[in-house]
Structure 1
Amino acid sequence: MPALRILVLSVMLLLAVSVQASNNDTNRPVSREQAAAIAKQHYPGKIIKLQQQQQNYRIRVLQADGRVITVLVDGQTGRIKRDGQ
């Protein structure tokens, strides 16, 4: 069972990276779902709030230890512009 979990998580990460790379190639805006996947890739946890602010996404992530962090994802490139505790 743990091996299956690792495989599923690996596939999800690869998909998120490939989506991010394809967005950089075509310069299409990042969707809400893609922004959430990018945030979770860098900061695992539960997305509790996602707001679009101009060309960015402000995402609040509840981590396993109970901390809530804010991640700012660029809506054009998919890059994390800022993260905070």
Structure 2
Amino acid sequence: MIALRVILLLVALLLTPLVQAAKPTNKVLISKEQAVTLVQQHYQGKIMKLRADKRYYQVRVLQNDGHVITVLVDNQTGKVHKDRS
């Protein structure tokens, strides 16, 4: 019985790194400064506000025509797109 517990414990210890490696990371790779630069490359105007959440930077841009838009920047990939909401 003890041998079975030891074997199960060893298997669990050996599999732990594999399970952790399979989990998606939420590591931020794009800085706030990089997000602003990416937005400025896609949309002209003045950056009014930047807010960070778990996956995206939300950047408010006052465009030259007076409209304010919200642009999302994926903080892992740097993908930029206009918020549709």
Tell me which interval the TM-score lies in, with the shorter structure as reference length. Answer: 0.5 to 0.7
Regions of 4+ moved over 2 Å: 81-85
CA distance in 2: counterparts of 1:33 and 1:45, whole angstroms: 16
> Structure 1 residue 39: deviation in Å?
0.7
How many residues align? The count is: 59
Structure 2: tracts of 5 or more residues without a match:
1-26
Q: Which has the higher helix share?
A: 1
Identity %: 51
1:64 aligns with 2:64: yes
CA-atom RMSD in angstroms: 2.0
With over 3 angstroms needed to count, the CA separation of the structure-2 counterparts of 1:51 and 1:45, relative to structure 1, is same
User: Which residue number in structure 2 is paired with residue 45 of structure 1?
Assistant: 45
Q: TM-score, normalised by structure 1?
A: 0.62
Structure 1: tracts of 5 or more residues without a match:
1-26
Q: TM-score, normalised by structure 2?
A: 0.62
With over 3 angstroms needed to count, the CA separation of the structure-2 counterparts of 1:44 and 1:81, relative to structure 1, is closer
